[in-house]
């Protein structure tokens, strides 16, 4: 294990204070695995340089001695070094146009790229992730936005006005306490009749959704099955509770249906996507007060909400209940097609006008309020870093071990890591050669 491991500073924006490996884990790996670490000095990282020095790492502005470099967010093109091994969330595997220059430069420099997103088990579930913390932070931001939007649009005060942006709590426990306090006020005083029932829908049931649900569950919650939702509105008006918030979790079978009228089959849907299935989520969205989107989406699958359907709902006045979409996945013009932009923690919401198809930052104006912070876990930097580092730690010695000068076929990595190698020695690996098409488009422009 002669490779020196580097931990890069994060500099995508002023909010990004996370780290892929926390000091206590650096200390353990130095002690138990005899690894060497160089940590790039940072003024904004949630863990101080001195903590890494005390753990036994070298702290330096220069990572040139490191052969393998761990980061979180995309690395600026101009700081990439030739023949290095980089591990980070590259956001390239869907052929994302905005990151093709990054991938192109990495190939030119003969680097190796390992993407956390593609480190998955045999069922395709991610093994190294921040998803639950995106859900934790995003749910609070969506509830904050709901309180602000209801006040702006309907002049109604709610207990959600007591909430702050997630990063302002300086820690998860303080945020949870604030949510619990809101819950106590709802239990005691109830919500304004005009807002009842307040229904929060969750698209998806993975790590992101579970994190978000755990925050909502700090409120007095009644859960409904998606198939009960329409009947709940049509037949149970007198039973709505003003002292509760209603929760609905949607799975794939609720969001799409086979075009042929056959029964839904999950693996068949994953295989064929929009070829055989069409989206039906508009049947539910009209009943929601808040929609939390935490699902993976690609062009293979139907969207949850299209621009066309958003316009139709506004024209027919059936979207009057929906105040906020918390688009945690934040795929630009993706599963939520009206998500036109990413936002930042201190200004997390924009208003999408379905008629002009324009987005304006803020909480006022006609249209749909969308919370679309694209790096939500950075609002809980210490907790999310510790969690991420815990999941990454067992793989660090494995990633440090190989001789990366060898051809890809001879690279001594277990399948779980080798399958996440997007490029090696400046060439796309067999699984990711489809990305050449997107690179060619870049070159043609």
Output the CA torsion sign for 9, 370, 164, 244.
negative
Domains of the chain by start residue, with CATH? 4-128+383-444 (3.40.50.720), 131-379 (3.40.50.720)
d(CA 281, CA 301): 13
pTM, full prediction: 0.90
Residue 320 has pLDDT above 70, yes or no: no
**What mean pLDDT is reported for the chain?**
94
Cβ count near 326 (within 10 Å): 33
DSSP string, 391-418: HHGGGHHHHHSS-TTS-GGG----HHHH
Burial of 43 (0-12, 13-18, 19+ CB in 10 A): exposed
At residue 175 the predicted structure's pLDDT band, cuts being 50, 70 and 90, is very high
pLDDT at residue 392 greater than cutoff 60: yes
What are phi and psi for residue 40, nearest 5 degrees? -70, 130
Per-residue model confidence (pLDDT) at position 148: 97
Q: Which residues lie below 8 Å from residue 382, measured CB to CB, with a gap of 6+?
A: 46, 47, 171
* Whole-Å CA distances, 49 to 7, 19, 46: 11, 12, 10
Tell me how far apart the 2 most distant CA atoms of the chain are, in Å: 70
Read off the pLDDT band of 445 (50, 70, 90). Answer: low
pLDDT tens sequence across 251-307? 999 999 999 888 999 999 999 999 999 999 988 998 999 999 999 888 899 999 999
Strands, sheet with 112-115, edge to edge from the N-terminal-most edge strand: 58-60, 36-40, 4-7, 68-70, 85-88, 112-115, 421-424, 427-428
DSSP state of 240: -
What is the rounded CA–CA span in Å between residue 376 and residue 129? 13
What is the DSSP track for 107-118? HHTT-EEEEGGG
pLDDT band at 1 (very low <50, low <70, confident <90, very high): very low
Q: Is 191 helix (H, G, I), strand (E, B) or coil?
A: coil
Query: In terms of DSSP bridges, do strands 221-224 and 324-327 run parallel, antiparallel, or are they unpaired?
Result: unpaired
Question: How confident is the model over 394-421, as pLDDT tens digits?
Answer: 999 999 999 999 999 999 999 999 999 9
Q: What is the pLDDT of residue 341?
A: 95
């Amino acid at each position: 294990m002669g490779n020196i491991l580097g931990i890069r500073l994060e500099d995508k924006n002023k909010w990004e204070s996370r780290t892929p490996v926390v000091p206590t884990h650096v200390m353990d790996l130095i002690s138990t695995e005899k690894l060497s670490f160089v940590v790039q000095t940072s003024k904004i990282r949630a863990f101080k340089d001195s903590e890494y020095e005390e753990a036994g790492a070298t702290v330096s502005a220069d990572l040139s001695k490191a052969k393998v470099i761990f980061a979180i967010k995309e690395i600026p093109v101009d700081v990439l070094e030739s023949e290095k091994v980089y591990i980070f969330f590259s956001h390239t595997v869907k052929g994302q146009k905005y990151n093709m220059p990054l991938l192109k430069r990495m190939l030119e420099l003969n680097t190796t790229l390992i993407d956390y997103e593609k480190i998955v088990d045999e069922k395709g579930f991610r093994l190294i992730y921040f998803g639950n913390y995106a859900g934790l932070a995003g749910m609070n931001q969506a509830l904050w936005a709901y309180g602000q939007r209801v006040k702006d649009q309907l002049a109604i005060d709610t207990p959600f006005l007591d909430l702050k942006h997630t990063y302002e709590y300086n820690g998860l426990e303080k945020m949870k306490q604030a949510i619990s306090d809101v819950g106590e006020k709802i239990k005691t005083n109830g919500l304004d009749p005009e807002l009842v029932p307040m229904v929060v829908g969750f698209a998806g049931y993975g790590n992101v959704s579970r994190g978000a649900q755990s925050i909502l569950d700090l409120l007095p919650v009644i859960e409904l099955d998606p198939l009960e939702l329409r009947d709940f509105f049509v037949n149970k008006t007198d039973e709505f509770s003003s002292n509760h918030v209603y929760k609905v979790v949607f799975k794939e079978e609720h969001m799409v249906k086979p075009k042929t009228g056959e029964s839904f089959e999950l693996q068949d849907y994953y295989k064929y996507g929009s070829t055989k299935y069409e989206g039906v989520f508009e049947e539910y969205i009209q009943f929601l007060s808040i929609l939390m989107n935490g699902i993976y989406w690609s062009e293979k699958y139907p969207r949850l909400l299209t621009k066309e359907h958003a316009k139709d709902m506004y024209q027919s006045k059936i979207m009057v209940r929906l105040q906020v979409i918390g688009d945690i996945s934040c795929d630009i013009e993706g599963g939520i097609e009206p998500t036109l932009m990413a936002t930042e923690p201190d200004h997390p919401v924009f208003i999408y006008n379905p008629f002009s198809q324009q987005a304006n930052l803020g909480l006022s104006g006609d249209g749909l309020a969308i919370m679309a912070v694209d790096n939500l876990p950075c609002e809980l930097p210490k907790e999310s870093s510790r969690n991420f580092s815990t999941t990454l730690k067992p793989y660090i010695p494995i990633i440090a071990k190989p001789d990366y000068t060898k051809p890809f076929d001879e690279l001594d990595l277990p399948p779980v890591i080798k399958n996440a190698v997007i490029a090696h020695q400046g060439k796309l690996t067999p699984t990711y050669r489809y990305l050449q098409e997107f690179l060619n488009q870049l070159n043609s422009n």
